Structure 1
Amino acid sequence: MGNVGLLFVGAVLFINGLLLLGKVDAQSGAVFNLFVGALQVLTPTYLIFTSGGDPKKILAASGIYLFGFTYLYVGIGLLAGLDTTGVGYYSLFVAISALGYSYVNFRLLKDYPFGVIWLYWALLWFLFFLLLGLKLDHLTSYTGWITAIEGWVTGAIPAGLLLSGYWKHPTETAIALGVFGVLMFVGLWPLTRQSPQPTRAAPPASSAGTPPSPDQK
């Protein structure tokens, strides 16, 4: 169940990246955020209720709420035309929390690939904070490309491999993800850099991803 949710997380990240790049209409993107947000609230609720009180299963499912509420917040904000400051500062909360979940995946769950993926998400949500909370509009293109690419690298591709049984070699996968992440975050900066503009309302878009519960892999 968690892997199916991860697939649609990849989709919403891709859509929101295109939204930031001006390729998707805000209202149509909002509807999809609401769909995925609802899914990512129902999924952890089901996983927790069926966990049998297992602390590790509850811990793994708990992080999904962070992002389910992000999508709902974004979707409602886009439809209602709300200022993005609230989503931006909530993204800072998620970014900091994601560092904790990364540590948990590395140390407690021994899930090294998702330890790296949580770092991807921490950096992405920190970009949302800078863009939407602090209104650093010159980061729009950079954040849009990072979001769209992470939709595939941290969502759609891992979900496809997990669902088909090809998610193997965790140490090598974690190293490959780490190397690709550094190249992506560093390499895209000079290619998408924009001159800072006077502060104005940032385009209302952000999203993040959620990992599958270990027992769903």
Structure 2
Amino acid sequence: MSSVGLLYVGAVLFINGLMLLDLIPGKAAAAMNLFVGGMQVIFPTLIILQSGGDQATILGASGLYLFGFTYLYVAWNQLTGASGEGLGWFSIFVAACAIVYGILQFTMFDDPVFGVIWFSWAVLWFLFFLVLALGKDALTRRTGWFTLLLGIFTGAVPAMLLLTGTYMTGAVEGLIAAAIGVVVLVVAWILGRPRATARPRTAAAT
């Protein structure tokens, strides 16, 4: 994934996390999903058309469509009021693909850090599947926090490292990335605990 595209993936994940936390309305988040979704469909198409049939280039660009179609799907649902089941079932397909892309980062591209990042995205899409397709509403806030935090740690941070030429990958960096991913999931799980409901007052004092 290009560093520029990754930066805006971080931005839209941050926005969608806020939407899942009910901090911004869905229609307010739709614009960013349209912008980034469109970018993540147009850019890989241009890359593939200019690849000259190079399989490594085509493979690298193909994963961008998973993001593009997800964000366009989110925008469609928010603007039309459509239910989320379709996006939820699409998300389990994307989660499975993300696992494959993660494995390929280890085996073909020798990039453990992005292998871990792809695996963390697989977890995120699996959460979308649980919330949207299976109706696990109790996970919505946890999914929102995880989405928001991944926007920072798998989008904005690595994008800035790539843009400034300071990105490094290897076994040690991969282990650090995996540890950060676990911490992010735990923090999201804690912050996203369902809000406690107030106990009803007794009808009369004893």
TM-score normalised over the length of structure 1: 0.86
Q: In structure 2, what is the Cα distance between the partners aligned to 1:68 and 1:188?
A: 24
Per-residue deviation, residues 24-56 of structure 1 (Å, max 9, x unmatched): 111010111000000000111111112221111
1:112 aligns with 2:109: no
Alignment-mate amino acid for residue 89 of structure 2 = Y
Give, in angstroms, the shift of residue 193 of structure 1. Answer: 2.6
Partner of 2:176: 176
Q: Which has the higher contact order (CA 8 A, sep 6+)?
A: 1
Looking at structure 2, the residues matched to 101 and 148 of structure 1 have their Cα atoms a distance apart, in angstroms, of: 22
1:27–1:78 contact (8 Å) kept in structure 2: yes
**Distance (whole Å) between structure 2 residues aligned to residue 50 and residue 160 of structure 1:** 26
* Aligned mates of 2:43, 2:53 — CA distance in 1: 16
Question: For the residues of structure 2 that align with 1:6 and 1:191, how far apart are their CA atoms?
Answer: 25
Measure the CA separation in 2 of the matches of 1:82 and 1:137.
Answer: 17
* TM-aligned CA deviation for residue 80 of structure 1: 0.2
- Cα offset, 1:9, TM superposition: 0.4
Alignment match, 1:93: 93
Unaligned runs of 5+ in 2: 196-206
Residue matched to 1:130: 130
Map 1:1-217 → 2, pairs under 5 A: 2-194=2-194
Q: Aligned residue for 1:213?
A: none
Could you tell me whether the CA contact under 8 Å between 1:2 and 1:43 is conserved in 2?
Answer: no
The alignment of Structure 1 onto Structure 2 pairs a total of residues equal to: 195
CA contact (8 A) 2:86 2:133 kept: yes
Indicate the RMSD between aligned Cα atoms, in angstroms.
Answer: 1.4
- Structure 2 Cα separation of the partners of residues 32 and 104 of structure 1: 29
SS in 2 for 1:23: coil
Task: Give the residue type in structure 2 aligned to 1:72.
Answer: L
User: What's the CA shift for 1:169?
Assistant: 4.2
- Structure 1 residue 173: Cα displacement: 2.2
Moved over 4 A (4+): none
Secondary structure of the residue aligned to 1:69 is helix
Q: Retained in 1: the 8 A contact 2:150–2:184? A: no
TM-score by length of 2: 0.91
Unaligned runs of 5+ in 1: 196-217
Q: Provide the identity percentage.
A: 50
For residue 66 of structure 1, report the CA deviation from its aligned partner. 1.0
- Compute the displacement of 1:2 (Å): 1.8
Q: CA deviation at 1:76?
A: 1.0
Aligned counterparts of 2:128 and 2:121: Cα–Cα separation in 1? 10
